[in-house]
Amino acid sequence: MSDRPKIRLYVEHPLGPGQSVPLSRDQAHYLISVMRLAAGAEVALFNGRDGEWRARIAEAHKRGAVLTCDHQTAPQQAPPDLWLLFAPIKKARTDFIVEKAAEMGAARIVPVRTDFTNSDRIRQDRLQAHAIEAAEQCGGTYVPGVAALQSLDAVLADWPGDRTLVFADEGRVGAHDSFAALPTGPAAILIGPEGGFSEAERARLTALPQVTPVSLGPRILRADTAAVAALALWQAARGDWK
Ligand code: SAH
């Protein structure tokens, strides 16, 4: 596929045949000044709703650019109905979790504050930008939303009856749990912080009928590794890798 444009951009604007798409100042700067593209050059665009489109630069100035959509190159594709809930850790590792969750096909990313969460604040807009960048890189047409930080208690109090919560429980290290035994349908994976879950949280979680505790093998994984491993196992057993 050598004629594929090297640059893929996420835009908010609607996409369709002949549609003009004005770029943000930052995106125009990136295309024109950094990547040195000129009028006539092709790029791929997606907006999370209309699939992927081939577009051409119609106007290029230092401070702005306008693209024109030509034809659709991929249909809109939603990932499976899988959320990732995780307790934020150090900044770089939290960024990594969000980037990997977007690549692995999570539909929604929900940072949760747990008893042993050491980080009290997240930059939701920064994390959302990481999810967009990951979607641009990995060829996806969907961008998972990154929710605001919520307490695990609040999230559990409101937990939808039809959504299985796959609880990665370090207390089950070494148990032989199979993701293929999980119920089908909407799901979410829950990954704890470096300090793991408290006994109160474990009791609260296991009392909920939608919760299934799982082991991620015989070794204790760091939270960022655990998130990627659990997403891979779920995608292979229940998601779109099958
Ligand atoms: N400090 C804790 C480990 C936390 S690991 C302890 O020593 O027990 C961070 C998170 O990754 C855990 O809360 C859990 O959600 C997940 N995790 C890591 N290894 C796991 C395993 N083998 N099985 C299940 N979950 C695991």
Q: What residues does each domain of the chain span?
A: 8-74, 82-238
Q: Which residue has the tokens 């148990």?
A: 175
Which residues are 161's β-sheet partners?
none
CA of 30 to the centre of ligand 1 (A): 40
Q: What is the pLDDT of residue 186?
A: 98
Q: What is the pLDDT of residue 5?
A: 87
Q: What is the pLDDT of residue 184?
A: 96
DSSP at 147: P
Q: What is the pLDDT of residue 2?
A: 52
CA of 135 to the centre of ligand 1 (A): 27
Say whether 3 sits in a helix, a strand or coil: coil
Question: Which of the following CATH numbers is that of domain 82-238: 3.30.420.40, 3.40.1280.10, 3.40.50.1000, 3.40.50.2300?
Answer: 3.40.1280.10
CA of 175 to the centre of ligand 1 (A): 13
How far is 10 from 45, CA to CA, in rounded Å?
6
Residue pair 80/235 in contact (Cβ under 8 Å)? The answer is yes
Counting ligand 1 atoms within 8 A of each CB, the residue from 221, 224, 225, 234 with the most, and so the one to mutate, is: 221
Counting ligand 1 atoms within 8 A of each CB, the residue from 97, 117, 170 with the most, and so the one to mutate, is: 170
How far is 97 from 102, CA to CA, in rounded Å?
9
Q: Which superfamily does 8-74 belong to? A: Hypothetical PUA domain-like; domain 1 (2.40.240.20)
How far is 225 from 216, CA to CA, in rounded Å?
10
| Common-topology check for domains 8-74 and 82-238 | no
C-alpha 186: how far from its chain's center? 16
**Which tokens sit at 197?**
């879950």
For ligand 1, which residues put their CB under 6 angstroms from it? Answer: 168-170, 172-173, 191-192, 194-197, 215-217, 219-221, 223, 226
At 128, which helix (H) or strand (E)? helix 124-138
CA of 168 to the centre of ligand 1 (A): 7
How many beta carbons lie within 10 A of that of residue 16, not counting itself? 12
pLDDT in 10s for each residue of the chain, 242 residues: 457 888 999 999 999 999 999 999 999 999 999 999 999 999 999 999 999 999 999 999 878 999 999 999 999 999 999 999 999 999 999 999 999 999 999 999 999 999 999 778 899 999 999 999 999 999 999 999 999 999 999 999 999 999 999 999 999 999 999 999 999 999 999 999 999 999 999 999 999 999 999 999 999 999 999 999 999 999 999 999 97
CA of 161 to the centre of ligand 1 (A): 25
